[in-house]
Amino acid sequence: MTTSRQIEMTVNGRTRSMAIAAHHTLLEVLRDDLGLTGTKECCLVGECGACTVLVDEVSVDSCLVLAAEADGACVTTVEGLAVGGRLHPLQQAFLDTGAVQCGFCIPGQLIAARALLARSPHPSRAEIEEGLAGNLCRCAGYEQIIEAVLAAAALDETGDRAVADGDAHAPAMGDRASTPNADVAPQ
């Protein structure tokens, strides 16, 4: 049985060509083969989001992706967020709001938040709750995490405060992602 495969993927901007076991997940390859242990292993069933990474800019649970599937893909992990020794605005916002407690869930939260802001630069609170619903925090720092994402969304790309302070709190009008929350499933 052929269980070993040669793959090539770009991880945090660096191209890696490597032999992997066909039954290994992307999470295992990132952590064990590449030593990128920022991405966490926890539930292994797609419920906690600790293993969240971007594959071609799409957020996925890396415990539920085979490494073989990532052949040819661009993968971003938490190690790829800071550029030139400067923290990503989301990372800085998480520190500033005290969102990091034990820290275990934070790499996944950061990556999920980055995917959310890429899709919706000024999310409403409800959108953030929905966008991060797949990321559990055992320390239950949810309020601070939401605050951090709101704060990061208030920064423009250069890292400066947006002119209009209330901006980040305005619901993204006409944004598709906010629609289902409104009238799906009375709970």
Site string for another protein, 160-179 (x = CB under 8 A): ----------------x--x
Stretch that binds another protein, among 33-41, 87-95, 111-119, 164-172 (CB under 8 A): 111-119
Tokens 């990503």 belong to 88
Given ligand FES, another protein, none, residue 36, with its beta carbon under 5 to 8 Å by kind, binds none
Q: 126 contacts which partner out of ligand FES, another protein, none, CB within 5 to 8 A by kind?
A: none
Decide: is 82 part of the binding site for another protein (CB under 8 A): no
**Whole-number Å distance between alpha carbons of 148 and 106:** 12
Task: Tell me the site size for another protein, rule CB under 8 A.
Answer: 42
Cβ distance to another protein smaller for residue 63 or 154: 63
Answer yes or no whether residue 103 interacts with another protein by CB under 8 A. Answer: no
Q: Minimum distance from CB of 48 to ligand FES (Å)?
A: 3
- Tell me which of another protein, ligand FES, none is bound by residue 172, counting a contact when its beta carbon lies within the kind-specific cut-off of 5 to 8 angstroms: none
Measured from the CB atom, the residue of 60 and 154 that comes closer to another protein is 60
Should residue 47 be labelled a site residue for another protein when binding is judged by CB under 8 A? yes
User: Least distance from C-beta 166 to another protein, angstroms?
Assistant: 26
Helix H or strand E segment including 15: strand 14-21
Tokens at residue 184, please?
């799906």
Cα–Cα distance measured from residue 54 to residue 124, given in angstroms and rounded to the nearest whole number: 22
Instruction: Tokens for 43, please give them.
Output: 């539930």
Q: Tell how strand 58-61 and strand 74-76 pair up.
A: unpaired
Contacts with ligand FES by CB under 6 A lie at 41-44, 46-51, 61, 63, 100-106, 137-139, 141
115 binds another protein, rule: CB under 8 A: yes
Residues 137-145: contacts with CB under 8 Å, at least 24 apart: 137/101, 137/105, 137/109, 138/102, 138/104, 138/105, 139/101, 139/102, 139/104, 139/105, 141/98, 141/99, 141/100, 141/101, 144/97, 144/98, 144/99, 145/94, 145/97, 145/99, 145/109, 145/113
